[in-house]
Amino acid sequence: MSIWVNEETKVLVQGITGSAARLHTRQMLDYGTKIVGGVTPGKDGEEVEGVPVYGSVQKAVDATDADASVIYVPAPFAADAIIEAADAGINLIVCITEHIPVQDMITVHHYLKSRPVRLIGPNCPGIITPDNCKIGIMPGHIHQSGRIGVVSRSGTLTYEAVHALTTSGHGQSTAVGIGGDPISGTSFVDVLESFERDENTDAVIMIGEIGGDAEETAARWAQENMTKPIIGFIGGITAPPGKRMGHAGAIVSGSGGTAETKIAEMESCGIHVARRISEIVPLLNKAL
């Protein structure tokens, strides 16, 4: 039915006393997510939306047995928040925060290598298993439970694709926004591998962007390892040359990283690539 999160996932909100975190805590609770605690140093004993606040992640884990955390901590402190969650034994960390310095994420990347922790993000919309658990900022109402996996570097393109799936009757098993920063915790390959193993996912929508080579790497891995059809889409196909587009990771270097090179590699590896969001559902229907 899903990968990584479900109705049993116990979630902490780090930075819960901030305005954005308060808003999204309420929305996650309304969706049915099991928010068991919040964390803000110096705020131990307070409550936000009926959720108890603890002064540290370790105190929160000891009190609630939380196994996931979502981070809304400001960028200068977000890397430390990720490391604190890992040290407290959190298995799944979703970092919504954007503009985290690359050097900070390099430190986090090396720190997490030897630990049994999955980091989604940073600078991502989060993860949702429709009708079960929403961790992050995804609009829950556009999602519907079903058998199509979604993985994306772009939040807004994810929402467009999911809306198109839902309105055409294709529900989603899980949708994962991996984020668009140069250094992120979870890759396309990580998500594709989990969807391939999930017996309740029939096909995958993979949404990429210009810049980097994550999509090409995923396409080559999928050619060797995936048995389920993948429908791809690359955002930025009309981006003018020389322009930096959106995410920090969307930087085209040399002749690589362009929409054309990504599409060519994906198609050569057997992925069905849509040129427009509106083409995703028709391609999916043909592939199923």
Write out the catalytic residue numbers.
247
For helices 57-64 and 75-87, the axis angle rounded to 10 degrees is 40
CA–CA separation, 5 and 11 (whole Å):
10
Residue among 40, 236, 268 nearest 51 (CA): 40
Output the CA angle 37-42-44, nearest 5 degrees.
40
For helices 259-268 and 214-225, the axis angle rounded to 10 degrees is 0
Question: Would residue 230 be called left, alpha or beta, if left means φ above 0 and alpha means ψ between -120 and 50 degrees?
Answer: beta
Question: DSSP letter string over 107-142?
Answer: HHHHHHTTSS-EEE-SS--EEEETTTEEEES--GGG
Q: Which burial class, exposed, middle or buried, applies to 65 when counting CB atoms under 10 A from its CB (0-12, 13-18, 19+)?
A: exposed
Residue among 15, 58, 53, 7 nearest 34 (CA): 7
Q: Check: CB of residue 198 under 8 Å from CB of residue 227.
A: no
Residue among 209, 127, 137 nearest 172 (CA): 127
Tokens 């981006």, residue located: 239
Q: Which two tokens stand for residue 284?
A: 């999916």
Question: DSSP letter string over 63-98?
Answer: HH---EEEE---HHHHHHHHHHHHHTT-SEEEE---
